[in-house]
Chain A
Amino acid sequence: MIFSPDKARELLTRVIAMREEGELSLLLCAERSLGTRFNGCAISQNILKFNATLRLTARVGQRRASLTVNALSDDDVLRRAVRQAHHLALRNPEDEEVMEEPGEVFSGPERARSESAEALEIPAIGSFVAEACALGSVAGVDLAGLVMVTKGLKAYADSRGGLAAERYHRTDTHITASGKKGSGWAEHQDHTLTRDNVVDCARRAIEKGLAAQNPRELAPRPMTAVLEPQAVGDLLTSSIWDWDQRAKDEGRSAFVGAPEELGKLSLVSDPAHPAFPTLSFNEDGERYSRSVWLDKGRVQQLMTPRFWAKKQGIPFKPFPSNLVLEGEGHSLDEMIRSTEDGVLVTRFWYIRSVDPTTLTYTGMTRDGLFRIENGKVTGPLVDYRFNDSLFRVLRNVSMSGKPVPTGEYLDAAMPALKVEGFRFTSLSGGL
């Protein structure tokens, strides 16, 4: 199967040559995912997934349409797909926003690739999980989670000369340790994975799970919240679709009436960022470059696709490859020590927009909420629901840590944050 960039480029070049008229761009996505799911300190599923899809986008002037297939080994099928994509494009009405293919050639380093992850197979992953499960059994907690390694390749080509192919690895380890009355959670997100990463993750989850037993109720109110990096990632990445320059320019965005300054931190996307490097190009063959969304708290130009950039005469800023909140480097311990009356949040759950006009979100704490009193963690609490505006949260950050990789919606690196007056609104009871 296709995992060599050379072979991918060869395939795409061959398919581009099948084009008879109009323009054509191709996106090849190939992924092999190996995962072990477990619960109750036992493996419940081992997963081996493989698929490779080819998206063919035909353009005739301002008309465009796409076709995606996964039967890639038969040139007759591919030739038919090229013709069909062209036919679909011809049927489409013209759209002034359709842009030319970028035609850019990429030859940069494969920043998201890991040789050690490449070597991993299911038996090795299963053995890491078995060791973690044994730790859970000894500690008397149920361990549940996923250890997943994805080996992927993305390649792009277009009939205006564009060509790119990069391999990547993505590993996702997250573990919940549950006792009878409470749970803890830990994760490891990276391009690579070792036995030590999984065991360390299990130990952190167990430690937190044991500490989270028998939580007490504390009436919800606005209070100081020390948010661990995953909690920050949960909240910030939920909002990413709202960081849209066109929506702002057209009055359809909370950023229209947003405060000039949103705290003092910088939010950036950068494919070469050492905290979480990514591919060099996106699915439309456009180059990812460093974009600054917040510069020391001041809102900069938001996500701007090529059509809008051209129309407005402003720089192109694609949907981000990753999201990094650049903190000030305080340690979690420093944040806790400086808190007289507050809580420590491990992560959030089920964050949803409540009011897009103020970027108000709701969600709940999960898998480890702890009371902080006079600079010390004094015990577990029953989970809270919050309702708060992201703008307000950013403005109320009083301390921040160093960004570390976090997972879920988007590759991200987030610091822990200390937020004053975080609006907890009810007890969730979601032990």
Chain B
Amino acid sequence: MFQIVQEACNLASQSGCTYADARVVALRRQTLHTRDRAVDHYGESDDRGFGVRVLYKGAWGFASSPILKIEEVKRVVKQAIRVAEASALAPRQGGVQWAPEPAARVHHVSPRQTDPFEVPFDSKTSLLLDASEVMLKEKGIKRARGYLLAKEVQRWYANTDGSEMFSDVISTEAEISAVAVGENDFQTRSWHADCRSGGFELYDRKKFVVEAARVAAQAREKLSAVDAPSGEKDLVLDAHHLGLTIHESVGHATELDRVLGYEVSMAGSSFVSTDKLGKFRYGSDKVTLMADNTLEGGLATQGFDDDGVPGQRWPIVEKGLFKGYSTGREFAHAIGEARSRGCCRADHWSSFPIVRIPNLSLMPGKESCSPQQLISGVDDGLYFEGMGSFSIDQRRWNFQFGADAVWEIKGGKLGRMVKPVVYQSTTPYFWGQCDAVADERHWRPVGVMNCGKGDPMQIAQMTHGAAPARFRKIKVSPGSVSA
């Protein structure tokens, strides 16, 4: 494989390209879906090919092929150069300013104790079907679903800087859900197992059974939930729910390519303009958000990015102050940085790399604090658990989020479950209202496997760690509108 990517770089150099890189990518997936007591779908896929990106006369060209043969490389490099010539028809003023990066050798293999591709099929199906059996025992549960994914991405990368890199990342994901049906009503409750780079050791059979029972009981409980309130409430958000809030209101907002207008037509831009760097108050002093593409088990921990830059750790928000962006080599210059943060990733061998959200985590509070303590400090509020409805504007300013399940908090104690309710806020106001984050005992990584960005759309994965946190005086309203 290295022969193919090296040959591509050599041919590109010989053809006058000022920079080139090439990737061979082999993508392997196993997906398992269960429906009640049956396997609804089982599929495996194996997809491989290579992509070549060239910078020729100041413009980008990219071409790819599924044919992994050395004689195919010449054709693809030529095609990439032709594409670059077409890009030069409407050139960017000043051309591409490409941040330098020293040549490096990287060999990254993600941690795994039990290779999920080697786990017997029956072990996987029984993990989900046993959970289904438990869910279906609960009265009123009319549908139980399970999902399990194992994914392996191997990359062989080289560029004309002289870098040669390899990564092999295995990620796993699992989810179960139950639908309860009542009189003219139905409600769903779900549970996401740990989703990270790792093997089947992440999945504890007993935990699935316990969570299945809880999910089913709470799906049923949702049928008799009380009406959603409206007005300002204090909120306590669990780590899983916060993962999405971080992703949408901080992760996407601080991608530098968006800020510079490169995604304006589809994914959008950002309110976090470059003049805000180092000055803008993103949140309260309780809020520190660290980017970390070296986080063990992080879904964006891949050794190096598709610009050939090794993974790094840096602050995005530090004690409430906006400190940094996610960048790639094409964009670092725009904020006066000499080196990329290593966030450019492509979702496939046939895709052009773009800036993606890194592993990005809300750091735990430094003082001892449990979720129960957060709740006990709320007189009239709501507790949000899991991911629900989520929607944010194209500048990442105004958002509205719901949850998988919500409970009242009255007099410092959890109360009854609440019907669909959403909170609506703006990014700096919301993070500014954070007055406490639980400590590191309660911090956990939350995996996102389906982050969409780009045009045409590319799907990326990353991790957002968080401990439960409390937010004061946030506007909430019922999620349901009568037909």
Contacts and interface: CB of A to CB of B under 8 A. Distances in A.
A176 B391 CA distance: 21
Interface string A28-59: 00000101111111111111111111010000
**Most A Cβ at <10 Å: residue of B86, B89, B395, B483:** B483
Interface residues of B, number: 82
Contact of A42 (B43, B64, B92, B142): B92
Interface in B44-63: 44-49, 59-63
A388 B47 CA distance: 41
A408 B42 CA distance: 28
Contacts of B480: 354-355, 357-358, 360
Nearest to B349: A51
Interface stretch (B2-10, B193-201, B257-265, B309-317): B257-265
Contacts of A43: 59, 86-92
B420 A91 contact: no
A88 B124 CA distance: 13
A292 B62 CA distance: 43
B393 A383 contact: yes
A60 to B, nearest CB: 13
A52 B41 CA distance: 22
Contacts of B262: 39, 44, 144
Interface string B386-421: 000111111101101010000000000000000010
A284 to B, nearest CB: 12
Nearest to B179: A252
Contact of B391 (A144, A357, A364): A364
Nearest to B91: A42
B398 A364 contact: yes
Interface string B362-403: 000000000000000000000000000111111101101010
Interface string B189-230: 000000000000000000000000000000000000000000
Contacts of A231: none
Contacts of B326: none
A252 B82 contact: no
A35 B62 CA distance: 11
A88 B121 CA distance: 9
A259 to B, nearest CB: 6
State the main secondary structure of chain B at its contact with A: mixed
Interface string B76-99: 000110111111111111000000
A127 interface: yes
Given A146-B455, A429-B426, A126 B87 contact: yes
B85 to A, nearest CB: 7
Interface residues of A, number: 100
Interface string B333-361: 00000000000000000111000000000
A250 B143 contact: yes
Contacts of B398: 364, 385, 426-430
A362 B422 contact: yes
Contacts of B231: none
Interface string A3-35: 000000000000000000000000000000101
Given A43-B59, A44-B92, A176-B264, A71 B48 contact: yes
A175 B82 CA distance: 24
B268 interface: yes
Interface in B260-290: 261-266, 268
Interface of A: 33, 35-53, 55, 64-71, 73, 84, 88, 91-97, 122-123, 125-127, 129-130, 133-134, 142, 144-146, 148, 174-176, 178, 183, 185, 250-254, 256-259, 349-360, 362-364, 366, 383, 385, 387-389, 391-392, 395, 423, 425-431
Interface of B: 35, 38-49, 59-67, 79-80, 82-93, 121-122, 125, 129, 142-143, 179, 181, 184-188, 261-266, 268, 350-352, 389-395, 397-398, 400, 402, 420, 422, 424, 426, 455-456, 477, 479-483
Given A94-B38, A354-B479, A358-B480, 15 more contacts: A42-B90, A43-B91, A45-B60, A46-B60, A47-B352, A93-B125, A130-B89, A183-B264, A351-B391, A354-B422, A357-B186, A358-B483, A385-B393, A385-B424, A428-B397
7 contacts: A39-B265, A65-B42, A88-B121, A93-B38, A251-B181, A352-B389, A423-B481
